[in-house]
Amino acid sequence: MEDIPEVVDIERVAFPSPWPPRAYRYEVSQNRLAHYFVARRQFAEEPQSQEDQGQDSLLQRVQRWAQGATAPERSVVGYCGFWMAADEAHISTIAVDPRYRRQGIGQLLLMTAIEQAVELRASIVSLEVRVSNLTAQEMYHKYGFRAVGLRARYYSDNREDAVIMTAPHLASAPYQRMLRKLREELVQRLSSNTLVTSQT
């Protein structure tokens, strides 16, 4: 809940029809099908023995770290959410602060969503994307999404069509192999890079 103001700041520059804060408050506190998470600028583990680390979940460790971290360190640079219904995960939103794009954060968020969906036993991930949003489509293609249909005049601001994209057979060996390879490349890329702020 406390990340919503920063999420909404990114939302306003990322989307022509941004969701208001109350939509995110509803999603996080009321929608039992919803799963939302953020990417933070920095997360430094406290020095701890392996044993101590093993007792807390990563989420607990991140939350404890965030309480002590300075505002710029813990700032939100991206976010993503999906709805889980039966065996389908539907990505409801994904965005990265424009100052931090092209550094792998979008992929980190998408991969996290796919991995969480698989843990929740999803066999397919779906989403809608504007026909004109070739950047996002490119990213989805890389993660095995394919266009399976169109929703005519789906977006109310300019009546633009939405492409429906899905990544099926998430648990299959070939998909999992592809995901593992992408994860290795991404980890390499993220660990060799400190985040750079571009002046856009």
Q: Which of 40, 112, 133, 160 binds ligand COA (CB under 6 A)?
A: 133
Catalytic residue status for 24: no
Which two three-digit tokens encode residue 191? 């660990």
**DSSP three-state, residue 78:** strand
Catalytic residue status for 128: yes
Q: Is residue 81 near ligand COA by the rule CB under 6 A?
A: no
Between 51 and 138, whose beta carbon lies closer to ligand COA? 138
Q: Is residue 76 near ligand COA by the rule CB under 6 A?
A: no
Query: At closest approach, how far in Å is the CB of 62 from ligand COA?
Result: 20
Backbone angles phi, psi at 2, to 5 degrees: -70, -15
Q: Is residue 95 near ligand COA by the rule CB under 6 A?
A: yes
Q: Where are the beta strands (DSSP E) in 28-87?
A: 34-40, 76-85
Q: Cα(119)–Cα(199) distance, rounded to whole angstroms?
A: 37
Q: Which of 107, 122, 167, 170 binds ligand COA (CB under 6 A)?
A: 107
Query: At closest approach, how far in Å is the CB of 50 from ligand COA?
Result: 31
Q: Cα(26)–Cα(163) distance, rounded to whole angstroms?
A: 26
Between 94 and 122, whose beta carbon lies closer to ligand COA? 94
Partner residues linked to 89 by β-bridges: 84, 125
Q: Cα(198)–Cα(76) distance, rounded to whole angstroms?
A: 16
Antiparallel, parallel or unpaired: β 124-130 and 88-96: parallel
* Interaction site with ligand COA (CB under 6 A): 14, 94-96, 101-107, 129, 133, 135-136, 138-139, 142
Hey, which residues are catalytic here? 128, 140
